[in-house]
Structure 1
Amino acid sequence: MSSRRRTIASLVVAALSSLLALTGTVAAQSENRDLIDGLEYQLLYVALPLTLFVLMILIYAAVKFHDNDDPEPTTEDPALEITWTAATAIILLFVGLSGYSVLVNPYVSPSQANDVDTSGSQEDIESFDDLPETDDEEVHVRGYQWEWQATYPESNVTTENEIVIPADRNVTFWLSSDDVVHSLFVPDLGIKQDAFPGDYTRARTIVSEPGNYDAVCAEFCGAGHSRMDAEIVVVEPDTYDQWLETNEGSNNVTTAPVPE
């Protein structure tokens, strides 16, 4: 086998190994993560055979024509051109529909949720108290240089750099900023939402797996940006209710441990 063929074969093996490595499945801990992973796998299952097809054509052309000293232009083939144009349109339609079905989901685009009255304008909202009501567990999250503060309005509990939420319940995070643009990003849960000064944005999730999840600021916000992180603590619903009851009325920032 010539060195050129060995190189091509090595590239093909490397590409296939990389693509196959991406197909490994990991159980999603939240509805958000499940939706995002599902879309990625759908697109991957389309991209993988297309990639193999293109690689096969590339190898065929490289092997068949590498010694061709007198190449001729490709002859016109209307049927082939119509076929690949139609195939491309079908693939793009599939990608568009798959992406749209995820983007309009209320866990990815919370404004699409049907349990919130979104008829009011942002101009009518001057504080967290003016936010529309939801049927979810609600947490008011304030970002500021360079901390996260979470308030539980129904229990008057506030925490610093720790957000406690119940598992298997719909949770809404209402976010705002005191100074510059921040962004709450929880990679393992598929949550990412910007927090703007003077505005209020919504992130929504339901987490199935109790545990501790890292949260960071994903928008550069100054010298302390790299250390602006927090912890999302997901506990069983009974534990969550007990924690709120224990700290109810403690308007001051608390770091009270979550009961085991």
Structure 2
Amino acid sequence: MHVLVLGAGFSGSAIAKAFLPAAQSVTGTTRSEEKASGLRTLGIDALVYDGAVISSELAAVMKRTTHLIQSIAPGRDGDPIMREDAPALGGLMPNLKWAAYLSTVGVYGDHGGAWVTEDALLEPVSARSVERVAAEQAWLAFGKASNIPVAVLRLSGIYGPGRNAFCNLAAGTARRLIKPNQVFNRIRVEDIAGAALFLSGRATGGIYNVTDNEPAPPQDIVSEAARLMGVAPPPEIPFETAELSPMARSFYGENKRVSNRRLRDLGFDFRFPDYRISLADLWSNGRWRG
């Protein structure tokens, strides 16, 4: 198995690490040589790729790739691998056997706090989520046309070592914004990696929500982290009076409860099925710092 992770950032590098023990080679791409050096310290082969120019080195890696994870976000021009002016993927990766595309639960848009499954109507609100829908469709169409299993992983709010409520509390940036009835799903980065490894091992394609079991108000996560740290939680701030960037405010415009039953019914066990288990783990072993 030769694995290529396009966009080995927070989630992509975790996926690459998960594949290391079973693969003959694992390569990740990033946009800078500094970040590439960081990947190499983890034992991951690393190449610089800006999402536009495919170097001869990357082309050689693509040629041998059997398992692909695409984690680069699309832009206005579409997915960097699937857009019309990109070389045909079948020609770039003649040995490809399975692929995963990392998407977002943002493709569902706002469902008024109702539960949504992978079959729910897609009503993306933000431009970035509209772009994700188009990218999902392109990858699924490629899989159908090439008879290669393509798994679309719709991810909820990602956190883990070095990126969590403990870090925000320690930095003094944590806030408890109160918007009545607002809930969000979350996902530990290790469970994203585990889901990708699980689906690849079964050569399984399709659409899967990769998210925890318990959508919850965002202020509850901050309060639980503060309790574990033994510090006072920040004061509650009404959402209406909070100073937020347009992007941050747009997240609160979408309210839904995302189901992960399809993935669990397939046999996947989440290591961190809810935020309490996850935060307790991060705090007890000190890995919250990253």
State whether TM-score is above 0.5.
Answer: no
Larger gyration radius, structure 1 or structure 2? 1
TM bucket, shorter chain: under 0.3
